Structure 1
Amino acid sequence: FEGAVDNLTIGFNGDAPTTYNFETQAVPEPASMIALGIGGLALLRRRRAKA
């Protein structure tokens, strides 16, 4: 699923409209973080084994 909200404009009783800006950040899924963590641990272990 992909979607975007750039601006949201709401007016109350004929007053000047109010604009709200929403910004989102991409959040990596947990499986990706686990894979990166395991890869980092493997690199540390490999470095220690050579020393």
Structure 2
Amino acid sequence: MKGLLVDRCGNNLRNQMAHGLLGYEDFFSAMNCYLWWLTLRLCCLPIIKL
């Protein structure tokens, strides 16, 4: 998650979203979809054990 959100070598999504640097179409990019999936997976993992 650090590489997706805050790492300069990564996507730095947190900074781009916080400062309004993302366009409308960027919210549906592969990295944003992956971030949502990863977040849901980490939150639901204790509930749904595979």
Q: TM-score, normalised to structure 2's length?
A: 0.36
Larger Rg: 1
In proportion to residue count, which structure has more strand? 1
**TM-score scaled by length of structure 1:** 0.36
Which has the larger helix fraction?
Answer: 2
